Structure 1
Amino acid sequence: MKLYIRNMVCNRCKYVVKTELEKLGEEVLDIDLGEVELKGEPDASQLELISKVLAGFGFALINDKASRTIEAIKTTIIEAVKDPELLEQKKLSDILTTKLNRDYSSLSKLFSEVEGITLEQFFILQKIERAKEMLVYDEMSLTEISYELGYSSVAHLSSQFRKVTGLTPSHFRKLRVKPRKSLDDLI
């Protein structure tokens, strides 16, 4: 049986979900961001317990198709932001249509209706959060960060960064502000 889980955004999340499911006696066959394949099929009371345990860690089971699609879109965008080579080879629309096997306009419409922002706005928010992280680590120049995130120039990154945060990347780096918002707080 496949479970769909909201808010799984990193390898730590996968580890926590797998560990907690195994503590509940479930055998995990495969785990990916937002998805877990179990060997058996939990009954209603087991699913309720799984839901309760995962909620304690900020995760939620997703039951309806639209929510699963939205979560898959978010996961795909987050993965794309972390993989600069992928964005260098393909446009976001191509990545989403390939991964989710649906046309971009229907994905975009669904996302906007449910989340209240466009896919592009969500994509920009994710890139800016990644830029904040890179700025705080202070291991890369602004030029390297803009290239890594697929911006055409430092000026383009700076412009979007300022629109989202109200600060320039350089000023943000100097402030050493807490870099990341919870993904739940982005929308």
Structure 2
Amino acid sequence: MLIYVKYMVSLRCKMVVKQELQKMGLNYVNVDLGTIEILENITDFQKGQLRTNLKRFGLELLDDKRKIMIEKIKAVIIEMVHYSDELPKVNYSNYISEKLGYDYTYLANTFCEVKGITIQQFIILNKIERVKELLLYDELSLKEISYKLHYSSVSHLSHQFKKITGLTPSYYKKLKVKRFGNLEDL
């Protein structure tokens, strides 16, 4: 049985879900960003209990097909930008479409209708969050970050960073203040 979870965007969220499933005695096959695969079918009571338990941690079970699709799109993007060592070499639209098995136009229209922003805007927001994270780690130069995240140039990255944050990457780095946003809020 596959269950979809909203706001499940980090490794910490996956840990919380696994702990709650174990507390309830539910055997899971896989817990991934936005999804839980459980071995057996669960009762409506168990599902309600799981819904209540996860809500305490800001997680929400999804039943609406459009909302499920949005969470799948978000999970693919978050995985791609934040947890992959390298971004895909193909267009993001092709990558997302292939991963989810749907026509990109359908995915893009659904995402925009429900979230009020385009998939491309969501990708940019996530890339900027990743840039912030990499700047704070101070392990890579701006040039290396722009290459890692497939920006055409440092100037393009800097322009997009300033447009989103209001700060230049170098000024942000000098602040040394952890200004991480929550991925759940994007």
TM-score strictly above 0.5: yes
**Structure 1 unmatched ranges of 5 or more:** none
Would the alpha carbon gap of residues 140 and 86 (structure 1) be closer, same or farther in structure 2, given more than 3 Å must change? closer
Structure 1 equivalent of residue 95 of structure 2: 95
Q: Distance in 2 between matches of 1:166 and 1:29?
A: 44
User: 1:1-187 counterparts in 2 under 5 A?
Assistant: 1-82=1-82, 83=84, 85-87=86-88, 89-186=89-186
Of all paired residues, the percent bearing the same amino acid is: 49
SS of residue in 2 equivalent to 1:85: coil
Structure 1 stretches (4+) deviating beyond 6 angstroms?
A: none
DSSP 3-state at the match of 2:86: helix
Q: What displacement does 1:80 show?
A: 1.3
Contact map agreement 2:4 2:34 (CA 8 A) in 1: yes
Q: Give SS of 1:61's match.
A: strand
User: Per-residue CA shift, 1:61-104, capped at 9, x if unaligned?
Assistant: 011111111001001011111325342x2111011110111111
CA RMSD of aligned residues (A): 1.2
Tell me the amino acid that sits aligned with residue 107 of structure 1.
L
Under a length normalisation based on structure 1, what TM-score does the superposition of the two structures give? 0.95
> Unmatched 5+ residue regions in structure 2?
none
How many equivalent residue pairs? 185
The one-letter amino acid paired with 1:43 is: T
Larger mean CA deviation between 16-25 and 116-125 belongs to 16-25
Question: Cα offset for 1:2?
Answer: 1.1
